Every structure is written in C-alpha cells, then in structure tokens.
A and B are shown apart, each in its own frame.
Chain A
Amino acid sequence: MPDTMVNQTSAVPRARTQDGGSANPLVTDKGTTSIDDVVVAKIAGLAAREVSGVHAMGGGAARALGSMRGMVGGERSVAQGVSVEVGERQAAVDMDLVAEYGTAIPDLAAAVRRNVIAAVERMCGLEVTEVNIRVDDVHLPGQDRDKDREMGDGRREVIEQPEPRVQ
C-alpha cells in the first residue's frame, strides 16, 4: 500500500513555482476572482460521487447527522464529508467516503482523486495540490440501511500533510 500511495500522489500536479503567475485565470489586472471554500467543497463532493463505487460521503458522525437531516425533510449537503483549503491560486481537498464492497480501494481512490482534480481545476481554475481520501467504511450489499456501525475493516488512507498547503 505505501508505494501505491506514493505513485498516486506523484500524479497530482505539484505546486508550480512563482513563474506561472500570469497564467492564473483568477487574478487579472481588472480585478480578482475569489472562490469560496464551500464552492470548491461542493464541486469536489459532486465529482467524488460521480465515481462508481463511492457509496456515500462523510465520516460516521457526518453521515448520521446527514441521514437525520434527511429524515426531517432537510436536504443533504453535497459538500458532506469534504473539507477544503482554498488559497488564491491553489486548493487542497480532504474527503471521507464509504466505498462499495467489492471495489479495489486504491483504484477507487485513484479514480476519485483524478475526477476531483479534473473537476476543481476545470471549474474553479485552481490548481489542486492534493486530495487526501479517507475511506471510512465499506458498504456491504445486503446492508440497505446505512448503519453507522463499523462493518468493514475500515481501511484508511491518510497522507501526512506538511503544514502550509496553499499559497
């Protein structure tokens, strides 16, 4: 597992050094464009859900709260389970998700990462420095109601992150 993680993260474009300033579509001489965190989180959440094999988003507490909100008629947030840091040119994404049982989790994570990076870079014009995915649970086929018990082996992928991640 550790060496696959290295391969996946190296596929993420690294921070370009200062030379790329003029290429940034968000800062122009006629004014700047700022994109709020919640915007990036929603786009990342939607992109992750598009990948087949992603059952749900969010850690245990977020899912419990989300299903409760669903019961009282509230709307589930597409940004559930996603947290982002957004800078002027770059963004970093952390997400919790539940995988379907029977998916190869490293492949699933790689697909999610690819889709999230593509969506955020295309839609927001922000360079994505990293996408940290935490697979919080696996969803078993017979488990039609989403209990928040630990059912699977709860495999996790967490990448240790250095302190300042966005510029």
Chain B
Amino acid sequence: MTRPDAPACGRADTETDAEAEAEALAELVRACPGVAGLSGGPFGTVATYLRGERVRGVSTGGDVVEVAIVATLERPLPETAEDVRQAVWKLTGGRPVNVRIDDVVEES
C-alpha cells in the first residue's frame, strides 16, 4: 500500500507511516486463509487510531502488535494464527505479534 501523495514534512510523515503500516497489516491479515475478517476485540479496543479514521483489528502502537480476527472453521485455529503471524512478520520489525481469535463463522 503505497501512498504517492505522502507529504514530506516530519510530523505528517510519521502519521502517514503509521497509517500505511496499519492498513498494510490489515490487508495482509485479511488475505490469510482461514481469516473471515478483522474484529475489534472486546469493546472495539483492538484498533489503530489515526487522523480521521480507525483501523479495526490491528493495534500497532506499542511494543507488541496485536491482531484480532474472526476465523473460519475450515482449518485449525493455531494454523490460521501462525499464518497471520508469518504474514505480518516482515512489517512488524521483530515485535511479537499477538493474535486474538475473537469469533468464528461457519462455512455454509
């Protein structure tokens, strides 16, 4: 997810980075097999807060990256979680990735 119109000034730059990071992570997580979607976690607290919007299900603020997902039942949940962890690993800069599975949906 590149942003061609990223402003060059310092503060906005970090903000744009955070935004790009959160959205890129969310995109990678959604693409994993066995992931039905992102979840907000309890009370919608797993989120990255950005200017004007909020990326639900990915929290990149601290020393730990937290990802909250809704999984499907087509494969074992630890495998899904491991895939999610592998998928986002490159973008997290060596921070641990905690995966929460908040809900499951049945495949009809």
Contacts and interface: CB of A to CB of B under 8 A. Distances in A.
A31 interface: yes
Contact of A36 (B85, B96, B102, B106): B102
Interface string B92-108: 00001111111110100
Interface string B59-101: 0000011000001010011100110010001000000111111
Interface in A27-47: 28-36, 38-39, 42-43, 46
A125 B81 CA distance: 11
Contact of A32 (B89, B98, B104, B106): B98
Interface residues of B, number: 21
A31 B97 contact: yes
B85 A122 contact: no
A39 B65 contact: no
A45 to B, nearest CB: 11
Contacts of B76: 122-125
Contacts of A31: 64-65, 85, 96-99
Contacts of B102: 36, 38-39
B85 A30 contact: yes
A110 interface: no
A111 interface: no
A132 B66 CA distance: 33
A26 B100 CA distance: 10
Most chain A CB neighbours (cut-off 10 Å) among B71, B78, B96, B106: B78
Chain A interface size, as a band, is 20 to 34
Contacts of A15: none
A36 B71 CA distance: 11
A125 B78 contact: yes
A124 B77 contact: yes
A25 interface: yes
B97 A30 contact: yes
Nearest to B65: A31
Interface of B: 64-65, 71, 73, 76-78, 81-82, 85, 89, 96-104, 106
Q: Closest 10 CB pairs between A and B?
A: A31-B96, A125-B78, A33-B81, A31-B97, A25-B78, A31-B98, A33-B99, A35-B101, A34-B100, A36-B102
16 contacts: A30-B85, A32-B96, A34-B99, A34-B101, A35-B77, A35-B101, A36-B102, A36-B103, A38-B103, A39-B71, A42-B103, A42-B104, A43-B73, A123-B76, A124-B76, A124-B77
